[in-house]
């Protein structure tokens, strides 16, 4: 039933936002470091921090060997610089200890569940960052659940709000057919940014109101 609902949601959203086509965005390790930098800041700030990091430290070994304060200075534009610098250094050290190189391209050879397990074993890496690497760098059928995906999903009634973002990854992957995963992810982000906003969604502009549990609840409350 919910898989059919996913198909209907895409059938209505994609004429508005286009059909997303996957293509690799970055190498897996680059994607992982960028994900760490993107936490609790804007895309513009995180991209600026990543470029500053690579300019200051041309190699990952240089990042590891640098004083934490120097790494933090390089990524200051992304916010939470000290916390993120420590995490980046810890993650790089863990990868090197596990593989003898600063490289995650080998994850492409693993089944998705094994690649995810390794990523989640890294210091401070949670379900969202793991899913971002698997999805955007490796093209795996996993759903990175950001604030937009989570909000639109629970409003539509696909998952309960009480589930929380961390557990929503597994729940949505059980609902969304694998061939539709990437398209679903991108469509919900676009819809969340344009229409299904927090805290006040633009329901008058939404093509999904007859499918939406949140809209029905609001209508019943108003009535």
How confident is the model over 13-40, as pLDDT tens digits? 999 999 999 998 899 999 999 999 999 8
Question: pLDDT at position 2, please?
Answer: 84
Alpha carbons 71 and 69: distance in angstroms, whole number: 5
Phi, psi of 35 (to 5 degrees): -60, -40
User: Is-catalytic flag, 84?
Assistant: no
Global pTM value: 0.90
Alpha carbons 53 and 66: distance in angstroms, whole number: 11
Q: Do 96 and 122 contact (CB within 8 A), yes or no? A: no
Give the per-residue SS3 of the chain.
Answer: CHHHHHHHHHHHHHHHHCCCCCCCCCCHHHHHHHHHHHCCCCHHHHHHHHHHHHHHCCCHHHHHHCCHHHHHHHCHHHCCHHHHHHHHHHHHHHHHHHHCCCCCHHHHHCCHHHHHHHHHHCCCCCHHHHHHHHHHHCCCCCCCCCHHHHHHHHHHCCCCHHHCHHHHHHHHHHHCCHHHHHHHHHHHHHHHHHCCCCCCCCHHHCCCHHHCHHHHHHHHHHC
CATH 1.10.340.30 domain range(s) in the chain:
28-137
Write out pLDDT tens, residues 54-82.
999 999 999 999 999 999 999 999 999 99
Two tokens, residue 95: 């990868």
- Residue ranges of the chain whose pLDDT lies below 70: 223
Q: 2-20+144-222: what CATH class?
A: mainly alpha
Residue pointed to by tokens 């940014």: 193
Alpha carbons 123 and 93: distance in angstroms, whole number: 10
Superfamily of domain 28-137: Hypothetical protein; domain 2 (1.10.340.30)
Question: pLDDT at position 43, please?
Answer: 86
Could you say which of 2, 23, 128, 161 is catalytic? 128
Q: Do 34 and 50 contact (CB within 8 A), yes or no? A: yes
Question: pLDDT at position 223, please?
Answer: 58
Question: pLDDT at position 24, please?
Answer: 87
Question: Of 94, 101, 54, 96, which is closest to residue 74 (Cα–Cα)?
Answer: 54
CATH 1.10.1670.10 domain range(s) in the chain:
2-20+144-222
């Amino acid at each position: 039933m919910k898989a059919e609902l996913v198909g209907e949601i895409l059938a209505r959203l994609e004429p508005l936002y286009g059909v997303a086509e996957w293509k690799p965005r970055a190498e897996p390790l680059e994607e992982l470091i960028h994900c760490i930098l993107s936490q609790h800041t804007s895309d513009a700030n995180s991209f600026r921090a990543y470029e500053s990091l690579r300019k200051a430290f041309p190699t990952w070994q240089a990042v590891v060997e640098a004083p934490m304060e120097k790494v933090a200075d390089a990524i200051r534009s992304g916010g939470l610089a000290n916390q993120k610098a420590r995490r980046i250094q810890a993650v790089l050290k863990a990868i090197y200890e596990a593989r003898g190189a600063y490289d995650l391209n080998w994850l492409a050879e693993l089944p998705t569940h094994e690649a995810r397990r390794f990523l989640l074993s890294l210091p401070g890496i949670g379900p969202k960052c793991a899913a971002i690497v698997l999805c955007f760098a490796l093209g795996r059928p996993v759903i990175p659940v950001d604030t937009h995906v989570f909000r639109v999903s629970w409003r539509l009634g696909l998952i309960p709000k009480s589930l929380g973002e961390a557990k929503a990854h597994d729940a949505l992957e059980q609902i969304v057919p694998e061939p539709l995963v990437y398209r679903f992810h991108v469509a919900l982000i676009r819809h969340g940014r344009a229409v299904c906003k927090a805290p006040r969604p633009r329901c008058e502009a939404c093509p999904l109101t007859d499918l939406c549990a949140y809209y029905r609840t609001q209508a019943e409350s108003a009535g």
